[in-house]
């Protein structure tokens, strides 16, 4: 563990300024003692490029790269004549295309697995949730009644394949969008044909000298993003539920205290649940458990991180060690015997930290290798070969542990796994499962609106702080919060994913939470599971009383600590679906441009949602609440809320007597 030579020259890291996660802070302090560098240290030492930060440069051809002036965006054009609006919209488009590619490729892997399961070529996985299979099939017009499961599955496979490969027409899940929302998409040419086609089309447009009308580019951005949200991601979620089970509320533990000093600790980090599901089989294999015991361990401890962790947390209650900005820090404990990763959000920096602490780090997916890191490829036809081998390696590391171990003694409990099906059931009860009670409570004003708070953590802002402050402010204002990805782990660590957290909610939301016994913050899974939020929105519209399209609903979204291109795609599909979506940190855009105006106002005028940008959590909350109130007013339900608040005040007065 030699000190990096240039550590001294680098700007010192002030730990309390970069994270509010106590476990991560403890490990950062240890990392410094050990002379180990993390992304937090690199972020402190490296300023973001000011031109890129405002998206004022283009490198799409070698006449450039061209750099425009952020202070005077219309003062100059690129060598080809491209304006600031063209350059910004093309840069934005490439983020949307990349994010959509990441999610849809993940979804397509789930589709491959499903096909092989249905055809009987893969035996290690199965159709676990027949009810969900039938529901999904029915939702897109596949005949279900009186048919064999396999026949339904074959037809469903054929339909869902179109999500990716179809070259004309509309993707199957477009049917699930409310009619008015679909009409807005049709009007602006935003209904996806197939995800592959839309991503290709969008990338084509961003080539030098193709689409140079920023509004036209944005419509294709919407189309591509919808091919993710209502396409690639939705297929990933639905097929994962069908094959691995639909989440229902489960109590689980989060934070680094989930690691156990006397057990073999294995972390799975990434995005695709197939690896993790097989891992779950492997850790329950008696011969491997025996091997761990023979090595002196009390057992094998399987823990998740980031999105595949969030998915396993929701689906099976597997403990979760932390979000994106904690993946290096967790290895600083010295307690992680093996970490296996698949795709997305895997920092290359993990390799160096793993080396420092002797953690066995493995890549498993052909798409994601890291120089110098051992690769054990995961094959769905023989999944256990990979996952058993990871455990064997972890056991060897356990036996040879030589460095002192320091596990932060911090563990938080929460309830997770609120699939949209379960929200239905929870609010409506067994015999009348429906979103009616949710809509009723929104109409009568107990619940002011619903907010999706999602996305990453980012070392450019204080880890978890923006998520937690924002969510607290929202629930205090009677807004029910649904969460995915790394954001929900921030809230789980802050203790807000428990029914007891209802006391932090405003009086109306608190009453609903206490009646149902649910937390005011509902974790629904990984980032592809944002599609669950889309379905929930569509259901709210279908039940009635809250308008004809998603754009009419009193809802809003935020990714206050975002960092990945996938987050931008998610933002764009929420906006395209009608949701006001606010992004924090910083956004590569210049305020004084027509492109900015299009994102923050123009899209809404066309019937979509719109973007908002702000850094401060309280400012973000204010923007979301104002939007929700605007929608309530347009629906004519703002008066009901005033009455409810009076009722509450009266009652509190009575209670005080």
Report 195-214 residues binding ligand SF4 (CB under 6 A).
Answer: 208
Distance of alpha carbon 533 from alpha carbon 34, whole angstroms: 43
Binding flag, residue 527, ligand XCC (CB under 6 A): yes
Binding flag, residue 324, ligand XCC (CB under 6 A): yes
Q: Does 65 sit behind a cis peptide bond, omega within 30 degrees of 0 on the bond before it?
A: yes
Q: Rank residues 209 and 372 by Cβ distance to ligand SF4 and give the closer one.
A: 209
Q: Rank residues 32 and 54 by Cβ distance to ligand SF4 and give the closer one.
A: 54
Binding flag, residue 548, ligand SF4 (CB under 6 A): no
How near is the Cβ of 15 to ligand SF4 at its closest, in Å? 41
Distance of alpha carbon 450 from alpha carbon 536, whole angstroms: 10
Options 1, 12, 46, 79; binder of ligand SF4; rule CB under 6 A: 79
Quick check: 269 and 341 in contact, CB under 8 A? yes
Phi, psi of 527 (to 5 degrees): -70, -35
Q: Rank residues 217 and 559 by Cβ distance to ligand XCC and give the closer one.
A: 559
* Residue 82 binding: pick among ligand XCC, ligand SF4, none (C-beta 5-8 Å cut-off by kind): ligand SF4
Options 73, 78, 194, 525; binder of ligand SF4; rule CB under 6 A: 78
Binding flag, residue 456, ligand XCC (CB under 6 A): yes
426-429: long-range contacts, CB 8 A cutoff, minimum separation 24: 426/249, 426/516, 426/518, 427/516
**323, 329, 339: which is closest to 265 by C-alpha?**
339
**379, 354, 349, 382: which is closest to 365 by C-alpha?**
379
Binding flag, residue 60, ligand SF4 (CB under 6 A): yes
Q: Rank residues 156 and 239 by Cβ distance to ligand XCC and give the closer one.
A: 239
Quick check: 245 and 129 in contact, CB under 8 A? yes
Binding flag, residue 64, ligand SF4 (CB under 6 A): yes
Q: Is the dihedral of CA 537, 523, 584, 218 positive or negative?
A: negative
* Residue 324 binding: pick among ligand XCC, ligand SF4, none (C-beta 5-8 Å cut-off by kind): ligand XCC
Q: Rank residues 153 and 567 by Cβ distance to ligand XCC and give the closer one.
A: 567
* Residue 65 binding: pick among ligand XCC, ligand SF4, none (C-beta 5-8 Å cut-off by kind): ligand SF4
Q: Rank residues 61 and 144 by Cβ distance to ligand SF4 and give the closer one.
A: 61
Binding flag, residue 482, ligand SF4 (CB under 6 A): no
Options 566, 610, 631, 632; binder of ligand XCC; rule CB under 6 A: 566
**525, 576, 572: which is closest to 549 by C-alpha?**
576
Q: Is the dihedral of CA 209, 211, 217, 220 positive or negative?
A: negative
DSSP-based three-state secondary structure for 451: strand
Binding flag, residue 95, ligand XCC (CB under 6 A): no
Options 184, 564, 581, 593; binder of ligand XCC; rule CB under 6 A: 564
Structure tokens at 506: 């405003």
Report 246-285 residues binding ligand XCC (CB under 6 A).
Answer: 271
Q: How far apart are the two ends of the chain, measured CA to CA in Å?
A: 66
Binding flag, residue 223, ligand SF4 (CB under 6 A): no
Beta bridge partners of 361: 339
* Residue 78 binding: pick among ligand SF4, ligand XCC, none (C-beta 5-8 Å cut-off by kind): ligand SF4
Q: Rank residues 78 and 231 by Cβ distance to ligand SF4 and give the closer one.
A: 78
Distance of alpha carbon 459 from alpha carbon 442, whole angstroms: 36
How near is the Cβ of 77 to ligand SF4 at its closest, in Å? 8
Binding flag, residue 65, ligand SF4 (CB under 6 A): yes
Q: Which residue has the tokens 């691995």?
A: 244
Question: Count H helices, E strands: the chain?
Answer: 27, 16
Options 78, 417, 452, 485; binder of ligand XCC; rule CB under 6 A: 485
Ramachandran region of residue 103, left (φ > 0), alpha (ψ -120 to 50) or beta?
alpha
Binding flag, residue 506, ligand XCC (CB under 6 A): no
Structure tokens at 212: 């140079």
* Residue 306 binding: pick among ligand SF4, ligand XCC, none (C-beta 5-8 Å cut-off by kind): ligand XCC
Helix (H) or strand (E) holding 543, with range, is helix 530-543
Distance of alpha carbon 456 from alpha carbon 436, whole angstroms: 32
Q: Rank residues 60 and 360 by Cβ distance to ligand SF4 and give the closer one.
A: 60
Binding segment (CB under 6 A) for ligand XCC, from list 171-179, 361-369, 560-568, 588-596: 560-568
Options 82, 196, 407, 451; binder of ligand SF4; rule CB under 6 A: 82
DSSP-based three-state secondary structure for 416: strand
* Residue 60 binding: pick among ligand SF4, ligand XCC, none (C-beta 5-8 Å cut-off by kind): ligand SF4
Options 56, 280, 345, 356; binder of ligand XCC; rule CB under 6 A: 345
Distance of alpha carbon 524 from alpha carbon 531, whole angstroms: 10
**457, 504, 455: which is closest to 480 by C-alpha?**
504
Binding residues for ligand SF4, total number by CB under 6 A: 14
Q: Rank residues 78 and 519 by Cβ distance to ligand SF4 and give the closer one.
A: 78
Options 12, 46, 63, 130; binder of ligand SF4; rule CB under 6 A: 63
Phi, psi of 378 (to 5 degrees): -90, 125
Options 80, 433, 543, 623; binder of ligand SF4; rule CB under 6 A: 80
Q: Which residue has the tokens 């589709």?
A: 111
Binding flag, residue 66, ligand SF4 (CB under 6 A): yes
Quick check: 491 and 254 in contact, CB under 8 A? no
Structure tokens at 595: 């492109």
* Residue 254 binding: pick among ligand XCC, ligand SF4, none (C-beta 5-8 Å cut-off by kind): none
In sequence order, which residues have a C-beta less than 8 Å from that of residue 210 and are 6 or more positions away?
Answer: 204
Helix (H) or strand (E) holding 153, with range, is helix 149-165
Q: Rank residues 462 and 566 by Cβ distance to ligand XCC and give the closer one.
A: 566
Binding segment (CB under 6 A) for ligand XCC, from list 18-26, 398-406, 563-571, 595-603: 563-571
Report 84-143 residues binding ligand SF4 (CB under 6 A).
Answer: 87
DSSP states of 587-655 as a string? Answer: -S--TTSHHHHIIIIIHHHTTS--EEE-SSHHHHHHHHHHHHHHHHHHHT-HHHHHHHHHHHHHHHHHH
Q: Interface residues with ligand XCC (CB under 6 A)? A: 271, 306-307, 323-324, 345, 455-456, 485-486, 527, 564, 566-567
Q: Interface residues with ligand SF4 (CB under 6 A)? A: 58-61, 63-66, 78-80, 82, 87, 208
């Amino acid at each position: 563990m030699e000190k990096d030579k240039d550590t001294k020259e680098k700007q010192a890291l002030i730990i309390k300024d970069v994270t509010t996660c106590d476990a991560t802070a403890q490990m950062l302090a240890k990392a410094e003692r050990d002379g180990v560098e993390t992304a937090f240290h690199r972020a402190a030492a490296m300023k973001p490029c000011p031109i890129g930060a405002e998206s004022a440069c283009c490198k799409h051809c070698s006449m450039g790269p061209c750099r425009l002036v952020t202070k005077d965006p219309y003062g100059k054009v690129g060598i080809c004549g491209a304006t600031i609006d063209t350059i910004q919209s093309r840069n934005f488009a490439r983020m949307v295309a990349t994010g959509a590619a990441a999610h849809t490729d993940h979804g397509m892997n789930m589709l491959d697995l499903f096909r092989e399961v249905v055809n009987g070529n893969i035996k290690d996985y199965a159709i676990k949730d027949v009810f969900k299979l039938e529901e999904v099939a029915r939702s897109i017009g596949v005949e279900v009644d009186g048919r064999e499961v396999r026949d339904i599955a074959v037809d469903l496979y054929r339909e869902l394949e179109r999500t990716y490969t179809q070259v004309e027409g509309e993707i199957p899940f477009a049917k699930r969008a409310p009619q008015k929302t679909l009409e807005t998409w049709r009007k602006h040419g935003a209904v996806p044909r197939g995800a592959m086609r839309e991503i290709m089309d969008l990338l084509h447009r961003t080539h030098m000298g193709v689409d140079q009308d920023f509004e036209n580019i944005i419509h294709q951005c919407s189309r591509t993003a919808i091919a993710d949200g209502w396409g690639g991601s939705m297929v990933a979620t639905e097929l994962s539920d069908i094959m691995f089970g639909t989440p229902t509320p489960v109590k689980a533990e989060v934070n680094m205290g989930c690691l156990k000093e006397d057990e073999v600790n294995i972390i799975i980090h990434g995005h695709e649940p197939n690896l993790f599901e097989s891992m779950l089989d492997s850790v329950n294999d008696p011969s491997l458990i025996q091997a761990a015991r023979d090595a002196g361990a009390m057992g094998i401890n399987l823990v998740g991180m980031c999105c595949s962790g969030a998915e396993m947390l929701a689906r099976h209650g597997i403990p979760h060690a932390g979000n994106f900005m904690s993946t290096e820090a967790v290895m600083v404990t010295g307690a992680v015997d093996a970490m296996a990763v698949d795709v997305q959000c895997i920092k290359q920096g993990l390799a160096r930290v793993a080396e420092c602490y002797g953690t066995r780090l493995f890549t498993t997916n052909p798409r994601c290798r890291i120089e110098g890191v051992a690769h054990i490829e995961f094959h769905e036809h023989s999944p256990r070969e990979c996952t058993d081998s990871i455990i064997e390696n972890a056991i060897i590391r356990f036996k040879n542990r030589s460095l002192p171990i320091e596990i932060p003694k911090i563990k938080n409990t929460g309830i997770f796994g609120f699939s949209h099906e379960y929200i239905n059931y929870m609010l409506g009860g067994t015999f009348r499962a429906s979103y009616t009670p949710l809509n009723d409570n929104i109409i009568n004003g107990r619940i002011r609106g619903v907010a999706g708070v999602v996305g990453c953590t980012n070392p450019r802002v204080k880890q978890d702080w923006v998520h937690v402050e924002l969510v607290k402010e929202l629930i205090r204002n009677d807004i029910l919060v649904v969460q995915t990805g790394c954001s929900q782990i921030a809230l789980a660590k802050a203790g807000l994913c428990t029914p007891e957290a209802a006391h932090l909610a405003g009086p109306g939301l608190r009453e609903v939470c206490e009646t149902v016994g649910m937390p005011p913050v509902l974790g629904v899974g990984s980032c592809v599971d944002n599609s669950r939020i889309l379905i929930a929105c569509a259901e709210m519209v279908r039940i009635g009383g809250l308008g004809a399209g998603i754009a009419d609903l009193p809802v809003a979204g935020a990714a206050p600590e975002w960092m990945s291109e996938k987050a931008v795609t998610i933002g764009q599909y929420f906006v395209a679906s009608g949701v006001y979506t606010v992004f924090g940190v910083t956004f590569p855009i210049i305020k004084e441009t027509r492109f900015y105006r299009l994102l923050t106002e123009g899209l809404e005028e066309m019937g979509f949602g719109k973007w908002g940008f702000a850094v401060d959590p309280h400012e973000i909350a204010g923007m979301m609440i104002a939007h929700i109130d605007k929608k309530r007013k347009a629906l004519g339900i703002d008066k009901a809320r005033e009455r409810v608040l009076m009722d509450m005040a009266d009652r509190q007065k009575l209670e005080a007597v």
